[in-house]
Copies of this chain bind each other. A is one copy, B any other.
Amino acid sequence: MRLLIINGPNLNNIGKREPNFYGNISFKEYFNKNLTSIPGFELSSIHTHKESEIVNILHESDNNYDGIILNAGAYTHTSVAIRDAITAISVPVVLVHISNVYAREIFRNKNLIAPVCKGIITGFGLQSYKIAILSFLD
């Protein structure tokens, strides 16, 4: 099963930034140590700060992956474009939030992308990625 993890803006320096929200391990470390070893999955991972790049990756992933794990970062709360891209493709997208967005600033309660996703994993730290992968098991 081929899965693509897309990480959006500011997710390159997890591990250094606001450790009370995001912990202190980088995504790369976690990816190599905790995710690649899960049997049954062929994992790819990509990072970009660009809203348009995420739109692009989603369009192009349509026939090449069995599932997308998307952490849209800040765009979760503002991007109609990414939402439209998800409705335009047929590969299932699972949305991931590292921190508990419900417990932070009020503007993080607004979620434009969640309504068009297959499922949402919120608040488990970097472990949220692992849970998202496991959600593709059944």
A-to-B contact residues, CB < 8 Å: 8-10, 12-13, 16-18, 34, 48-53, 55-56, 59, 73-75, 77-81, 83-85, 87-88, 100, 102-103, 107-108, 111-112, 114-124, 127-128, 130-131, 134-135, 138
Contacts and interface: CB of A to CB of B under 8 A. Distances in A.
Nearest to A123: B119
Given A17-B88, A122-B122, A130-B138, 9 more contacts: A16-B88, A34-B138, A73-B81, A74-B83, A102-B114, A102-B120, A107-B112, A118-B124, A131-B131
A52 B56 contact: no
A50 B53 CA distance: 8
The main secondary structure of chain A at its interface with chain B is helix
12 contacts: A10-B84, A49-B51, A52-B53, A75-B80, A100-B114, A100-B118, A100-B120, A103-B116, A117-B123, A119-B122, A119-B128, A120-B122
Contacts of A79: 74, 78
A136 to B, nearest CB: 10
A130 B137 CA distance: 10
